[in-house]
Each structure stands twice: as C-alpha cells, then as structure tokens.
Amino acid sequence: MKIEKANVGNLTNFEVFDFLRSRGATSDPMGCIGSVSPSECKVFEYLSGSPACMQTRESVNEFLIKADKFKFITTFEKLNIVNSTPTVMPALYATIKDCDKRIAKEKEQIAKENQLEEDQLQELLELVKEIFPLPAEELEELSQ
C-alpha cells in the first residue's frame, strides 16, 4: 500500500473496513493471495468482528451530523463512539475524557435549558443505539 497524502484526515473503522473490502480483502487467508497484503487481511479479519462490519456510510454520516448538537464532544470522541458504539453509560464515560467536567461546563453555558448531564449522556446513548443497532446475539448477552 502506498501513502499518497499523509495526515489528510481521520478515518473510522468502517471506512477502513469498506476500503479493504473494496480491494478484495477477506477473512480467509487463502482468499487474500495477490489482491491485498496479509497484514491488510488481518486488519479486515479484526474489523469483521467489530461494530464496523454492521455499519454503513449513511449511518456513520447520520450519527456524525446528529452528534453535532452535543457540543461537549470533540471530533475525535465522535469517531471513537462510531468505532466502539458504546451502549451503556460506563462505556460512554470511558470514551469521553473528563465527561463530568465538560458536561457541567456546557450546562452552565446553557443553564436556561435545564438539561441535566445524565439526560445528555442518555440522549447520546439512545442516538448510538438508534443508528448502530446491536446484532441479536449481543442483545441477548446484555439482557442476561
């Protein structure tokens, strides 16, 4: 693989997965011979087991547009949310650095709305669940 332009932007796992799929990468090591390198097949295999394999370009774009209303989240954190698709509050807190402090600061700025921090985070989680639904087997594991 040749790098034509370095540091032109950040990619989501879905974009890498989609690119490798378009080049002919498969999870089968024998299916990758010639078209892509073995390391690209390993990356493809890893991403096949991640939320990226369930996403579409439209769903990623929809999330990024709708997540713009959450001013306390950085662009990099939005990409991390797309990549990891957290569905529970502890996972979301782990994705957003200094979550409590940043929400409190925004809450002060928009005090007239009286929206609590938990409400904002819950709304963000619901957005993730709406746009990136979990596979059926993962839903079963969470319900147990």
Chain centroid to CA 1 = 25
Residue 65 DSSP SS3? helix
Q: What is the Cβ-side half-sphere exposure of residue 24, based on CA atoms within 13 angstroms?
A: 9
Residue 17 DSSP SS3? helix
* Domain edges within the chain: 13-53, 71-143
Task: Give the separation between CA 133 and CA 13, rounded to whole angstroms.
Answer: 16
Residue 128 DSSP SS3? helix
Q: What is the pLDDT along the chain (144 residues), one digit of tens a residue?
A: 566 776 667 889 999 999 998 888 887 766 666 678 888 888 899 999 899 989 999 999 999 999 998 888 889 999 999 999 998 888 888 888 887 777 777 666 655 454 556 677 888 899 999 998 776 555 455 445
φ, ψ for residue 110 (rounded to 5)? Answer: -120, 45
pTM: 0.74
